[in-house]
């Protein structure tokens, strides 16, 4: 295999792993969202307005972006969506729990790592083993375009979402 083939293999492995993980998270949420208000109530306890909408939104987002990453379709945008969803989780659920995920309440290292890697991988592009390449869309996603696009959509989407739906609950220390 050539060096380019090894790079394509590495990009495909990263894409399929990240996409599969996100899809699995979304799939796991489907029954939870359908069976009752538990997930919606939890989102509302974090300060997210309209818990049922948020529960379905997260579920569908994880399923769609996960599948897009697995096949390599609109890869920088799929990575941006993945980064945004975990950045929202970082701010709403993990930010006050310390760095390490094994801290009580789960720290923010895990979601931050997914966000950083998603932005970085979105900036690199899908590689040749992707639907983007088969549809000849990869030229649009050169690193000089893809990295700023992925970062802007991820961070901008997070800020827009939080500004629209998040009202942090009052601290119990007040």
In a domain, 31, yes or no: yes
Whether residue 174 has pLDDT greater than 50: no
- Contact between 112 and 88 (Cβ < 8 Å): no
What's the mean per-residue pLDDT of the chain? 92
At 116, the pLDDT band (50, 70, 90 cuts) reads: very high
- Contact between 154 and 37 (Cβ < 8 Å): no
Domains held by the chain: number:
1
Query: Range of 10's domain?
Result: 3-165
Predicted pLDDT of residue 44: 95
> Of the spans 26-40, 93-107, 146-160, which averages the highest pLDDT?
146-160
In a domain, 173, yes or no: no
Paired with 166 in beta bridges are 48
In a domain, 174, yes or no: no
In a domain, 158, yes or no: yes
Q: Which of 22, 21, 119 is nearest to 75 (CA)?
A: 119
- Contact between 156 and 149 (Cβ < 8 Å): no
- Contact between 169 and 51 (Cβ < 8 Å): no
Average pLDDT over residues 91-119: 90
At 173, the pLDDT band (50, 70, 90 cuts) reads: low
Whether residue 99 has pLDDT greater than 50: yes
Average pLDDT over residues 27-56: 92
In a domain, 172, yes or no: no
In a domain, 170, yes or no: no
């Amino acid at each position: 295999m050539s060096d380019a083939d090894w790079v394509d293999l590495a990009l495909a492995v990263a894409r399929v792993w990240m996409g599969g993980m996100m899809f699995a998270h979304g799939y796991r949420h489907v029954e939870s969202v359908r069976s009752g208000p538990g997930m919606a109530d939890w989102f509302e306890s974090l300060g997210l307005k309209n818990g049922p909408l948020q529960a379905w939104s997260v579920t569908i987002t994880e399923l769609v972006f996960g599948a897009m990453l697995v096949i390599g379709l609109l890869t920088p945008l799929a990575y941006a969506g993945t980064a945004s969803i975990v950045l929202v989780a970082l701010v709403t659920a993990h930010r006050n729990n310390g760095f390490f995920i094994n801290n009580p309440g789960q720290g923010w290292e895990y979601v931050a790592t997914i966000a950083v890697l998603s932005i970085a991988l979105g900036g690199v592009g899908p590689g040749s083993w992707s639907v983007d390449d088969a549809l000849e869309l990869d030229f649009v996603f050169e690193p000089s375009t893809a990295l700023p696009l992925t970062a802007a959509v991820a961070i901008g989407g997070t800020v827009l979402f939080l500004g629209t739906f998040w009202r942090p609950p009052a601290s119990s220390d007040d």
